[in-house]
């Protein structure tokens, strides 16, 4: 598949000497939805900012649709739309004016019909003459999306688009992203929610401490992310695991009161019933059960420590 963004040996060292990006090599494919995951401070926003021209790269090259982001900045920036992480808006301006400004800034002739369509799609039409400061947080986020879409970009960056957004709106954004992809827009998003990456992404990149650790098809990564732990609270303290239960998947916590069973929701072989059968055969009763999805944070830790 054709790549639309190429980063080669990209490094960013901030003025205070902090290295936020280290030797990033990454290609974003045309038309895909790419989720960039990583803990706070990993360098996600920095990477996006470099591509968009807001932060100067220290070394390395980035091209967008074949155009160098520094030498051919006009061509590379013209096709990018950016929804920033922070809710930064022109508080005293109306929704309509701020979205029209964005379109103009990106060199497009005024097109009120298109802006109307965009505002309607984002349920902002009835707020078009409102000052932005009179909008709720979720509406402001949608204004930022409208601004980014105002110039019909081919590549869209969404930096944590669903932070602080309610469930309904989150679902709405997911479908918006899917619709945009239908029209051929490439989407790069960052998020801290696994289910978001799971719902939307074709591919996932994990970044930590400025380094890209993993770039994989989502389905591959989901297998790793799909591991869950089922914990069984025992009514008594077990000193040792019975022979039958000894397996990689099962372990006994130190106090002997909890049995943990690790399984993979994506895998067909794993069957929770087998585990319960084993408990029954060994005459082990239990008070309670809980299950826990391995968190993104844990996956990062395991990835980093690998």
- Interacting residue ranges for another protein, rule: CB under 8 A: 14-15, 49, 52-56, 73-78, 80, 82, 84, 86, 88-93, 97, 100-110, 147
Site residues (vs ligand ATP, CB under 6 A): 14, 16, 18, 20, 38, 40-46, 85
| Structural tokens at position 256 | 């002997």
Query: Which residue in this structure is represented by tokens 């994990």?
Result: 206
Radius of gyration of the chain (CA): 24
56 binds, among ligand ATP, another protein, Mg ion, none (CB under 5 to 8 A by kind): another protein
Using the 8-state DSSP alphabet, how is residue 247 labeled? B
| Structural tokens at position 236 | 């008594």
CB of 13 to ligand ATP, least distance (A): 9
Per CB under 5 A, 85 contacts Mg ion: yes
- What's the CA angle centered on 5, arms 170 and 88, to 5 degrees? 45
Q: Give the up-direction half-sphere exposure of residue 183: CA atoms within 13 A in the CB hemisphere.
A: 12
Cα(275)–Cα(139) distance, rounded to whole angstroms?
48
54 binds, among Mg ion, another protein, ligand ATP, none (CB under 5 to 8 A by kind): another protein
**51 or 234: whose CB is closer to ligand ATP?**
51
**36 or 206: whose CB is closer to another protein?**
36
CB of 187 to ligand ATP, least distance (A): 17
CB of 37 to ligand ATP, least distance (A): 9
**16 or 268: whose CB is closer to ligand ATP?**
16
Cα(27)–Cα(280) distance, rounded to whole angstroms?
51
Q: Are 204 and 44 in contact (CB under 8 A)?
A: no
């Amino acid at each position: 598949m054709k790549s639309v963004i190429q980063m080669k040996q990209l490094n960013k060292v901030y003025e205070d000497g902090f290295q936020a990006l280290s030797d990033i090599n990454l290609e974003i494919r045309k038309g895909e939805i790419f989720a960039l995951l990583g803990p706070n401070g990993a360098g996600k926003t920095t990477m996006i900012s470099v591509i968009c021209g807001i932060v100067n790269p220290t070394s390395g090259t980035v091209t967008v649709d074949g155009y160098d982001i520094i030498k051919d900045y006009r061509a590379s920036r013209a096709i990018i739309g950016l929804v920033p992480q922070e809710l930064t808006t022109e508080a005293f301006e109306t929704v309509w004016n701020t979205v029209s400004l964005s379109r103009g800034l990106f060199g497009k002739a005024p097109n009120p019909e298109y802006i109307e369509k965009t505002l309607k799609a984002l349920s902002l039409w009835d707020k078009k003459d409102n000052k932005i400061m009179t909008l709720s947080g979720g509406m402001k986020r949608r204004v930022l999306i409208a601004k980014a879409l105002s110039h019909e970009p081919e590549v869209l960056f969404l930096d944590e688009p669903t932070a602080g957004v309610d469930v309904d709106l989150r679902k709405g954004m997911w479908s918006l992203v899917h619709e945009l992809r239908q029209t051929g827009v490439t989407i790069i998003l960052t998020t801290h929610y696994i289910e978001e990456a799971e719902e939307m992404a074709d591919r996932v990149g994990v970044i930590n401490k400025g380094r890209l650790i993993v770039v994989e098809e989502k389905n591959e990564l989901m297998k790793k992310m799909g591991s869950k732990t089922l914990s069984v609270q025992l009514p008594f303290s077990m000193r040792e695991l019975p022979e039958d239960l000894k397996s990689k998947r099962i372990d006994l916590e130190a106090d002997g009161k909890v049995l943990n069973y690790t399984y993979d929701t994506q895998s067909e072989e794993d069957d929770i019933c087998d585990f319960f059968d084993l408990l029954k055969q060994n005459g082990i009763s239990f008070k309670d059960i809980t299950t826990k999805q391995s968190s993104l944070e844990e996956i990062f830790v395991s990835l980093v420590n690998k």
